[in-house]
Amino acid sequence: MSVIGQEEGIKHGTRAGYKQHLYRKVDACEACLEAERGGPRKQAPASSKPALTKPARPNPDAGLPGGVTREAALTYIPYADAQGHAIARRERIKAAAAAILLGAPDVIEALGVPDDEVALARQFADRLTQQSEAA
């Protein structure tokens, strides 16, 4: 059954009532016109969802056993020397540690790894062998 042309059931005095007048092709009453013209409009309630926030950055020391600091962790190799040469230093220490673990000390000399980095590589290799023996 069509509601076109019928005024029964319109919610007079509201914006919804004004829209019902339009839909039904019936002249809007003064109360509905006033509601549409700008009576104070209610805002939708604020969302009940919590605002999105950035996740906390993970703690680099989290997950290390027994309160061991990152410096003493198995895979820690200092990133930079006093002059801040970070990447090259780290790679030299890793290469020296690999040479120590493979039993090829002549490779360390061929690479020209400084003595302080060789000492760090030996410490790293020792920690690695201790860890593998414990497992």
Counting the structural domains of the chain, the total is 2
Residue 49 lies in a domain: no
CB 19 within 8 A of CB 5: no
At 101, which amino acid appears?
L
pLDDT at position 81: 57
Residue 125 forms part of a structural domain:
yes
CA angle (89 as vertex; 87, 90 as ends), nearest 5: 65
Q: Examine residue 79 and state whether it is found in any structural domain, yes or no.
A: yes
User: Is 8 a domain residue?
Assistant: yes
Q: Which of 76, 95, 78, 75 is nearest to 86 (CA)?
A: 78
Residue 53 in any domain: the answer is no
Domain with 27 in it: 1-39
**Does the model's pTM come out above 0.85?**
no
User: Does residue 45 lie within any of the structural domains?
Assistant: no
**pLDDT tens across the length of the chain (135 residues):** 678 778 788 888 888 889 898 888 888 898 888 888 876 666 666 677 766 677 666 665 555 555 555 554 445 555 555 566 667 777 888 888 888 888 887 888 887 888 888 898 888 888 888 887 876
Q: Is residue 58 part of a domain?
A: no
